[in-house]
Structure 1
Amino acid sequence: MDEPSVREYGELVDLLLAVPGMHDPVFRQQMYDLLPGAVRAQLPRPGVARVELVSVTATLWRYRHLRTWQALGDALTLLAPRDPAVVRLLPRLAAFDGVA
């Protein structure tokens, strides 16, 4: 799979922003804390949710060999179980991770 296009990154960020709590920096930090350590150290933290998530998704792509998209899905499932936004997001994350 090729790197997501700007449009695809935008769609992914829109889906992430629909998750309850995603605009809260504490929620995002909790989500990041559940990602692999090598990835956490590389995550930018500009503070504005949309800008931050654009950078985070690009970083997750670069480290996808660590199953970062699956880790993100697992973190979201833990933090917002059964939330409709998370349910919509999980198949997209699985596709980026190369998981059917």
Structure 2
Amino acid sequence: MELLGISMYITNIEQEVLSAKQVYELYALRCQIEIIFKTWKSVFHIHAVKQVKIERFQCQLYGKLILLLLSSSVMFKMRTLAMENKELEASEMRVSEIVHGYIV
């Protein structure tokens, strides 16, 4: 209970290289990247690959990447509009599921 509201980051990088604020910013960015990859795997199944010829695999990969690009653009716009118009924060995972349902 004493540490409630306190974030602790342990690193071996010296303070002359990165300040505490920079370490916090890097960890926050890393967390966002992990959420994006989790969404890609959970919602868009980017990790699911069948045994096919390389040409077909490349087509499927490019198709999934295009889908991710379009979905991300729509998702970020939806989240921005929800915040601006309704003052609501939307989960990235939930908005991705909604967008994926409409696109696929």
TM-score by length of 1: 0.33
Q: Which has the higher contact order (CA 8 A, sep 6+)?
A: 1
Structure with higher Rg: it is 2
In the superposition, the TM-score normalised over structure 2's length comes to: 0.32
